[in-house]
Structure 1
Amino acid sequence: MASAVFVLAPLPLGSVDLAWVCIWTAVLSASLLTARVDHGCKADLWFMVPILAAIAAIAVIVWIQVAPNILANLQDPAWGNARDLAGIDVPGRISLTRSSPLLSFGYYLVFVLGLSRAYLLGIDGWQAHKLLKLVAYASVCYALYGILSQLLLPDTLLWRQKEFYLEYATGTFVNRNTAATFWGSGGLILLIMMVRSILHKSDDADSARVRFLDRPATQAVGCGICLVAVGMTGSRAGILITVLSMVCAIVLYLAPLNRGGWLLWTSVRNSLVAGIIVLALVGSLAMGRISQIGLVDGQRYEVYKTVLDMIRGHTVLGFGAGNFDAAFPPFRPASLGSQGIWDRVHSTPLELVLDLGLPAATAVFAVAVFFFASLITAALRRKRDRHIPVIAAGAFFLGSLHSFVDFSLQIPGFGLLFACVLGCGLAQSISTSTRGLARRAPDWDSPILR
C-alpha cells in the first residue's frame, strides 16, 4: 500500500486536490497499522520523536489558529472589521479564514505519514534499496510520458486541456518547476545507483546474474531520460539545482573512497566537468530563458519583500496555515501590475513562517538541519548501504534548495517522493551493528572501506 502511494501520487495532477490528499492519508494510515516495528532500536527515537513532535505541534498551532475568541491580542483584524462594517456577529480568530488551516493540515499529515512509513520500511537496508529503485524507475516512466506527451500532444495534460506552459514539458504536473524537481530526484537516485554498480565488487556467488534494472547501462539510460525531461521543462532553478545536486551527491559518495587530498580534488574536478557538460546538453531551454529574463525573477523578489513585511505583524502564530492567497491581496505591491495570480509565495520557508509563525517555522527548520546533518554523517561513516543516505542527502539538498525559490515541496506528488527518499535515508543513517540486524543480501558499497 505504501509503495502504491509513493508511485501513484504524482499521477493525478500531482495530487493537489484535497480528495487525493484524503485518499493517500487513509491508505498510508492503513499501511502504518501493518508496519513491523520489531526491527527498531532506541536510536530510531532520535528521528521518530522529532517527526511526531513536529506534526503534534503543527496540529496544536492549527487548532489555536481556528479556535474562536482565543488570544484576543493576536486575532486578525479582519474579523473585527467584519463585525463593524458588515454587522456580522462572528467570533474573532487568529487565522484570517476559518477553514483553510484545517484543510492545509491534511498535507502536513500525509507528508509525515509517508515519511514515517518509509522510515519503518527503510530499517531493512535491502527493503530501502528496493523502495528507492521502485520510485526511481517510476519517475523514469513519468519522464517518458512527459517527453512523449510534449512531442505528440503539447496542448494536453492527461485527460484535460493544458492551459499553462504549453511550450514546456510538465508530465502529470501542472507546474513545470515541480516536474523538474521530481524528475531530477529520480535521475539522482539512478545516478548514485549507477556509480555504486560500477564500483561495486560483490562476493555473492550469483553476482554474474545481475538483474536488468540493476545494470549500470540501464541505470544510465534511466538517468538520461530523467535529465532530458528536466531539460524540457525549461525550469531555470530546476535544471541548475538538479545538476548541482548530482555533482554534490557524486562527490559525497566518492569522498570516503579517496584517502588522499589529490584524489578527492580529482573527483570534485571530474564531477564538476561532467555537470557542466550535462548542463550544456540538457539545459539549453533554461539557458535561453536566463539570457532573456535573467537568473533572478524580479517579481518573485518583490513578493519576497512584501511577505517579509507581512510577517512582521504576525510573527508569533502567522496568518493561519494555507492563508497566503487570502492575506496577500491587500499587501500586493503596485510593481507587480495587474497580471498574474499569486496563490503561493514561491518560497516554502517564507510561506511556512507566514502560515505558522516564526517559532514553529524555526523548530521545523532545526529538525530539517538535524536530518540533513545526520544524512551527511552517515554518508561519510557508513560502510554498508552507504548509497542510501547519499541518495537521501542529495535529494534533500535538491528539494530543499529548490523550495527556497518555489513551492515544489508543497505539492503532494513530489512531497511524498521526497518523504519516501528521506525516510529511507534516515533509517539507514543508523548502522547495522547498532540495530543488530542480519543482512538479507550481500551489499558492500566500498571494497576499500571493507
Structure 2
Amino acid sequence: MKNALYWLLLAVMIWLPLPEGSKPVWAMGILMILAYGLALLWLVGFVVNRLPVTLAFQKAKWFHLGFVIVICWLFVQQVPLPVSWLKLLSPQAWEIHTQAYLALGLSVPDKLPLSLDPFSTLLTCLLTLSYFLLFCLCLLLIDRPEKLKTLAWVLVVSGVFQAMFGSLSMLSGLETLLFREKTTYLGVATGTFVNRNSFAGCLEMTLAAGMGLLIAQLHNTPSNSAKEWLHRIVKTLMSNKVILRTGLCIMVVALVLSRSRMGNTAFFSSLMLTGLLYVICRQQMSRGVVVLFVSLLVIDTAIVSQWFGLEKVVERIEQTSLERETRPNVADVTLKAIDDYGVTGSGGGTFYTTLPHYHDGSWRGFYDLAHNDYLQFPLEFGIPVFLILALMVFSALWLAVQAMRKRRNRLMIGMGFSAVMGIMAILIHSFVDFNLQIPSNAVYFVVMMALAVLARYLPTRHRAVTTNVQWNAGK
C-alpha cells in the first residue's frame, strides 16, 4: 500500500502544473481532492498497522505546529465573531462590513468575520491544508534514498515537459495552453501557465531539483590517471547524467524564452549563491564542481541561451523604469493597508477585495494579487502569522544547509543543495511576483521544504522504518 501511495503522490506532482498551475477553481478542487484522498488512504493504512511513521516526519514537528497554527488562524478569520470582538480585533474590518450592510439597506448582524471575503478565506484555508498534507505525505512515504531520488527526477521530468511545451508552443506560433487557447503573454513561453512569471517560478524549482541530482553524481576524489579519467568520461556518457544535463539545458532555454526578468535573475542568483554556500559547507572546490557551474553559467548562458534571445531578457531588465511601473504604487498602497490589518489580517485570499478601498488613482486596471508575496501574506494573514511562515521557511533553509555540511551521502548533499537553491530562488522572485499564490508552485515550494527535512534526516541504509528508527540519521 505504501508503494502505491508513493506512486500516486508522484503522479500528483506531475499533474498539478498542467491545468494552468492549478489556479482555476475547478483545478483547485481537484488538488484538494487528491491531497485529502491520499492523506485519508495513508491514515487508513496507519490505523491497520501497515504504514509506519518515519523519522523525518517526527523531526518535522515544529513545521507541523506552524502549519496547524496557520490553518487554524485562516479558519478563525472566516468564522463570524461577536461584533464587540471584531471592533476590538480589527476596527477596519468592522467598519468595512458595517458600511457594506448599510449601503445595501440591510441591518448589521450581531456577528461578523475578520475576513472581508469569508468564502475566499475558507478556500485559502482548505488549500493550505492540502499543502500541509502533501508536505506530510512526502515525509511519510519517502523512507529510502531511492524514493527521494525518484521524487527529484519526477520534478525534473515535470520541468522538462513544461519547458518543451512552452518553447514549442511559442516557437511554432500555435500559442496554446494545455486545456484552452492562450490569450495573454503571446510571443513568450509560459508552458501550461497563464503567466510567464509563474512558469519561470516552476522552472526555478525543477532546475534546482536537477542541480541536486547532478551534485549527487559528482565524484568525491579526482582521477588518479588518464585511464581512470577516460573511464569516468565513458561511464558518464553512458549514464543518465547526459539525459539530466540535456534536460537542464532545455529548461534554461525555456526560462530565457519566458522573458521573465526576475525569473532569470532569481535562477542565476540562487545558483551562484547556493554554489558558494556549497563550497563553504563542504570546504572543498573539486574540479567536478568547477566544471559543473562553469558549464551552466557559461555554456547555457553565453552560448545556448544567446541563440534564443537572452539579450531580450537583458534588454527588458535594463529598460525597467520605476516611473513607468505601476507595481511600486500598488506596493505603497498595500503597505498602508497593512497598517490597518497588520495584526489580524484582512483574510486569506482577500487582496483583491481589500485593495480598492485604498486606491489612490495612481494606477489603472485591476489587481487581484499584490505582485509581491512579502506584502500579500502580511496583509491577508496578519504580520504574526506571516512571521510564523517565514520562520518555517528559514528553518527549512537551515536544515538544507546542515545537510550539505554534515551528511556524507552524496544524494543527501545534493538534495540539500536542491532545497536551498529552490527555496532561495522563490524567495528572490517573490519580491516582484506571486509564485506562492499559484497552487502548483506553492506545492512545489512545500516539496522543497520537505526535501530539506529529508536531506537532513532520511536514513541512508535500508531497514524497516518504524517510529523508533534513529540510527544513521544526520550522517
How many residues matched? 427
The 5-angstrom pairing of residues 337-352 of structure 1 reads 338=364, 340-352=365-377
| Maintained 8 Å contact 1:243/1:278 | no
* Larger displacement relative to structure 2 (266-275 or 362-371): 266-275
Q: Is the 8 A contact 1:24 1:110 kept in 2?
A: yes
Summarize the Cα distance change of 1:62–1:187 in structure 2 as closer, same or farther, 3 Å threshold.
closer
The verdict on how the C-alpha distance between 1:369 and 1:293 changes in structure 2, with shifts beyond 3 A counting, is same
1:282-330 CA-partner distances (Å, limit 9, x unpaired): 3322111112224897322221111111111112111111111011112
1:308-359 C-alpha deviation (Å, 9 max, x unpaired): 11111112111111111011112123222x2x32110111121111111111
Alignment match of 2:104 (pick from 67, 79, 86): 86
Match of 2:163 among 121, 140, 143: 143
- The match for 2:272 is 247
Q: Does the CA-based 8 Å contact 2:419-2:452 persist in structure 1?
A: yes
Larger deviation: 317-326 or 96-105?
96-105
Structure 1 residues 213, 351: CA separation in 2 closer, same or farther (over 3 Å shift)? farther
* Aligned equivalent of 2:54: 40
The 5 Å alignment of 1:304-343 reads 304-336=331-363, 338=364, 340-343=365-368
2:278/2:404 contact within 8 Å kept? yes
Tell me the residue number matched to 2:413: 386
Q: What secondary structure, in the 3-state scheme, does the structure 2 residue paired with 1:161 have? A: coil
5+ unaligned residues in a row in structure 1: which ranges? 202-206, 441-449
Distance 1:72 1:24, change over 3 A: closer
State the AA in 2 paired with 1:87.
G
* 1:66 counterpart residue number: 78
For the aligned residue pairs, the C-alpha RMSD in angstroms reads: 3.1
For 1:422, the aligned partner's letter is M
1:63 maps to amino acid: F
How far apart in 2 are the matches of 1:22 and 1:109? 13
Give the 4+ runs in structure 1 shifted more than 6 A: 207-213, 264-270
After TM superposition, the structure 1 = structure 2 runs for residues 83-162 of structure 1, keeping only pairs within 5 Å, are 83-91=101-109, 92-162=112-182
Q: Is the contact made by 1:244 and 1:275 (CA closer than 8 Å) also made in structure 2?
A: no
Provide the residue aligned with 1:237 in structure 2: 262
Residues of 2 paired with 1:156 and 1:431: CA distance? 41
Correspondence for 1:396 among 420, 423, 430 = 423
Q: Deviations over 1:3-56 (max 9, x none)?
A: 111111011111112222222222223323444753623x64341x23332332
Structure 2 unaligned residues grouped into runs of 5+: 1-7, 43-49, 222-231, 466-474
Q: 2:206 aligns with which of 171, 186, 206?
A: 186
Flag the 1:245–1:143 CA change in 2: closer, same or farther, 3 A: same
Letter aligned with residue 110 of structure 1: S
SS in 1 for 2:217: helix
- Secondary structure of 1:181's counterpart equals helix
Q: Does the 8 A contact of 1:83 with 1:90 survive in 2? A: yes
3-state SS of paired residue (2:148):
helix
Cα distance per residue 1:117-170 (max 9 Å; x no partner): 112233322111111111212211221111111111343223423221102100
Range with greater deviation from structure 2 (183-192 or 325-334): 183-192
Cα distance in 2 for partners of 1:334, 1:279 equals 41
Name the amino acid aligned to 1:86. Answer: L
SS across alignment from 1:157: coil
Q: Structure 1 pair 370/104, CA: closer, same or farther in 2 (3 Å)? A: same
Which deviates further from its counterpart, 52-61 or 320-329?
52-61
Distance in 2 (CA, whole Å) between partners of 1:272 and 1:439 is 41
**Aligned residue in 2 for 1:224:** 249
Q: Structure 1, residues 237-259: CA drift from partner, whole Å, max 9, x if none?
A: 00011112222333444445544
TM-score by length of 1: 0.85
Comparing 275-284 with 225-234, greater Cα deviation is found at 275-284
Matches of 1:408 and 1:160, distance apart in 2:
21
Note if contact 2:415-2:452 (Cα within 8 Å) is conserved in structure 1.
yes
- 1-side partners of 2:323 and 2:294: how far apart? 23
Q: Matches of residues 13-52 of structure 1 in structure 2 within 5 Å?
A: 13-35=20-42, 38=52, 40-41=54-55, 44-47=57-60, 49-52=61-64
Match of 1:55 in 2: 67
Residues 253, 390 of structure 1: 8 Å contact kept: yes
Q: How much does 1:102 deviate?
A: 0.6
Determine if the alignment matches structure 1 residue 429 to structure 2 residue 443: no
More displaced 10-residue stretch of structure 1: 349-358 or 293-302: 293-302
Q: 389-398 or 181-190: which moved more?
A: 181-190
Is 2:436 the counterpart of 1:409? yes
Residue 69 to residue 439, structure 1, CA distance change in 2 (3 Å):
closer
Q: 1:97 and 1:257, CA in 2 relative to 1: closer, same or farther beyond 3 A?
A: closer
Distance 1:367 1:168 in 2: 34
Contact 2:208/2:421, CA 8 A, preserved across alignment: yes
- Say which is worse superposed, 53-62 or 147-156, in terms of deviation: 53-62
User: Contact (CA 8 Å) 2:212, 2:416: kept in 1 or not?
Assistant: no
Go from structure 1 to structure 2 and tell me whether the alpha carbon gap of 1:357 and 1:287 turns closer, same or farther (over 3 Å shift): same
Native 8 Å contact 1:243 1:279 kept in 2: no
